Amino acid sequence: MKDGGIIGRGRNEVTSSNDPTAHAEVQAIREACLHLGHFQLKGCEIYTSCEPCPMCIGAIYWSRPDAVYYACTQAEAASIGFDDQFIYEQIALPMPARSIPMKRIDLPDYKLPFATWKTSMNKTEY
């Protein structure tokens, strides 16, 4: 929502699109950003049927809306099978303790993309 109008809508399309990132909040953020022609949602509010999951919280922080309003709680979502607790627990663990291995690899030019970004004169910071 922006200025009282709906600028983006979303619904969970994970199974219909075979896209694990197609949660309703992410879909709405994508549509709203497309509508605004900008990658941030300053001056906007997100209304969602349930407390956002960890992935959607990340997308919300990256898109920077002014507020999020939700109806169902995490506990209510868990009661019907949408339990995010495992992900919250995994995020809190040190990398070696996580169930999905996440290991740093040492490549010769691994800093090149960041160095390129840092010195770029054509970047849009966010």
Residues involved in catalysis: 25
Decide if residue 23 touches Zn ion (CB under 5 A): yes
Interaxial angle between packed helices 24-36 and 54-63, expressed in degrees from 0 to 180 and rounded to the nearest 10: 10
Question: What is the nearest approach in angstroms of Zn ion to the Cβ of residue 116?
Answer: 32
Q: What are the tokens at 23?
A: 């949660």
Task: Give 24 or 44: the residue with its C-beta nearer to Zn ion.
Answer: 24
At closest approach, how far in Å is the CB of 41 from Zn ion?
16
- Sorted by sequence, the CB contacts under 8 Å of residue 100 that are 6+ apart come out as 90
Of 44 and 53, CB closest to Zn ion: 53
Name residues contacting Zn ion, limited to 80-109 (CB under 5 A): none
Q: Contact between 63 and Zn ion (CB under 5 A)?
A: no
Report how far residue 6's alpha carbon sits from residue 121's, in angstroms, rounded to the nearest whole number: 35
Q: Shortest gap between Cβ of 54 and Zn ion (angstroms)? A: 8
For 3, 39, 55, 67, 109, the CA distances from 118, given in Å and listed in that order, are: 35, 20, 27, 31, 15
Among 50, 53, 60, 77, binds Zn ion (CB under 5 A): 53
Nearer to Zn ion, 1 or 59 (CB): 59
Binding-site residue total for Zn ion (CB under 5 A)?
4
Cα dihedral 23, 56, 73, 42 sign: negative
Binding footprint of Zn ion on the chain (CB under 5 A): 23, 53, 55-56
